[in-house]
Amino acid sequence: MSDTRTYTHPEDAPPMRADKAVSAFLSQELSRSRLEESFKAGDVKMNGEPIVKKHELRPGDTVEIAMPPPLETEVKPVEIPVEILYEDDDIVIVNKPAGMTVHPGSGTGEDTLVHAMMHHTGGKLSTAGGAMRPGIVHRLDKETSGAMVLAKNDNAYYRLVETFSERDLDKIYVAIISGVPTVRSGVVNKPIGRHPSFRTKMCVSDPENGRDAYTEWYVKEKFGNKAALVECKILTGRTHQIRVHMTDIGFPIMGDYTYSFQKNRFKEITAPERVMLHAQKIRLPHPVSGEEIEVEAPAPEDFKLLLKTLKETYQD
């Protein structure tokens, strides 16, 4: 029998939205995000029928909530092959595949990068950043491939956090963009914040609603007037930073349907289904020895194949 909670809206209370009332009732047991998942799953019911979170509860209304199973408190090792670019007793640098989520979250399975790295390291990853994010100091989007650093112990973790926060490192990306800039290089220095209407998106924002974001870009190769390969160096690490900045100057990354990429511009080829962004190189001081480490991650096959196709199809 499933674990349930019963809530009755008090007789002397004013009408209230179901999600607000139940959230206050279960504040010590269930987060708002998990409660929202319960509403979506139809696990919040009144008179045996599921209700939506906006349903207005009146005095005397009784609601039953089927409690979701508890979240796991640790990540289990799972044998998933991942390319290792560098490793010692303190850190490991991997070439994250495109399509792989970095760490567990709502809706993920046991196929994240940390599941793979828990297996590779025999569980030797720092949990200073949280038990569900072992070793994670920085992240890449699910569709973005490339070099990522993980900490194997707490000392390395805290020193890496300091390195990233002080921007004492170089992160170089390559991206295949739609369109060709009229100049060879440029800088985008615009704050980035959460999109006001679409909470899963970011956007260029004003300083009050966004955080500073700085991207340098350079055109490495042009493919007619259709596309270009650009190298991007970021001095900040905002969510979706390169994707937002390149779109803002009119050159969305190919395959980035979230940020304005239009596949109908490329009728002669099959447009990519994922964001063509790759973290190619990372250069940083070792968190313990201080020695400079520079690692380059080979681009994935679909990235290289798209470059070849663009060159054969559009290049003069």
Catalogue the active-site residues. 141
Cα separation, 108 vs 133, whole angstroms: 13
Q: What is the pairing mode between strands 292-296 and 170-178?
A: unpaired
d(CA 120, CA 133): 15
Q: Which residues pair with 63 in a beta bridge?
A: 7
Distance CA 201, CA 257 (A): 11
Extract the tokens encoding 222: 């042009």
CA-to-CA distance for 98 and 142, rounded, in angstroms? 6
In angstroms, the CA 133 to CA 210 distance is: 25
Neighbours of 130 (CB within 10 A): 10
For residue 38, what is the DSSP state? H
CA-to-CA distance for 137 and 127, rounded, in angstroms? 11
Asked if 251 and 259 count as a contact pair (C-beta separation under 8 A), the reply is no
Residue 117 DSSP class: H
C-alpha angle 51/72/239, rounded to 5°? 80
Residue that the structure tokens 């054969």 belong to: 312
First-residue to last-residue Cα distance in the chain:
68
100 contacts: CB under 8 Å, gap ≥ 6: 111, 112, 113, 116, 142
Torsion sign across C-alpha atoms 138, 144, 149, 154: positive
